[in-house]
């Protein structure tokens, strides 16, 4: 639903692979991320009421780059060290952090055994 609303991709254009762990935003909103594949030629159209732009990041970026910083966050007494990545594309700088980074870290760890952590003292 969000994929269609935010970037114009219809559900029938997505090959659903499965869910990732549910996460709670700092605002208390439960987010249920799913992983899916879309054909590379599908046109992505940003809904400017929902997001500023669309950009693609190669998987190798997250596997090879160290975060530029880590933000300490606490939720219900648990401390997290959330990575922040700077990605440069077509002359623009994009910061990938917060909930997006948490979801991407889980995907990289499950799919590519990346050993990236959101906990202090573990992994990279």
Identify whether residues 46 and 62 lie together within a single domain.
Answer: no
Q: What is the pLDDT of residues 64-107, one digit of tens each?
A: 999 999 998 877 788 889 999 999 999 999 999 999 999 999 99
Identify whether residues 11 and 42 lie together within a single domain.
Answer: yes
Q: What is the extent of the structural domain holding 23?
A: 1-54
Instruction: Report the sign of the C-alpha dihedral through residues 123, 26, 84, 20, in that order.
Output: positive
18-22, 36-40, 75-79: lowest mean pLDDT where?
A: 75-79
In this model, does residue 122 exceed pLDDT 60? no
What is the pTM (predicted TM-score) of this model? 0.86
Mean pLDDT across the stretch 31-36?
95
The pLDDT assigned to 123 comes to 46
Identify whether residues 45 and 73 lie together within a single domain.
Answer: no
31: region left, alpha or beta (phi > 0 left; psi from -120 to 50 alpha): beta
């Amino acid at each position: 639903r969000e994929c269609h609303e935010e970037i114009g991709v219809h559900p029938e254009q997505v090959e659903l692979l499965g869910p990732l762990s549910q996460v709670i935003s700092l605002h208390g909103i439960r987010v249920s991320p799913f992983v899916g594949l879309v054909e590379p030629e599908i046109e992505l159209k940003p809904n400017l009421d929902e997001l500023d732009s669309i950009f693609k990041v190669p998987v190798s970026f997250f596997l090879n780059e160290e975060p530029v910083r880590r933000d300490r966050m606490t939720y219900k007494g648990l401390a997290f060290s959330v990575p922040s990545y700077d990605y440069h594309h077509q002359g623009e700088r994009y910061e990938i952090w917060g909930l997006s980074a948490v979801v991407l870290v889980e995907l990289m760890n499950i799919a590519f055994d990346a050993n990236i952590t959101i906990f202090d003292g573990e992994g990279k």
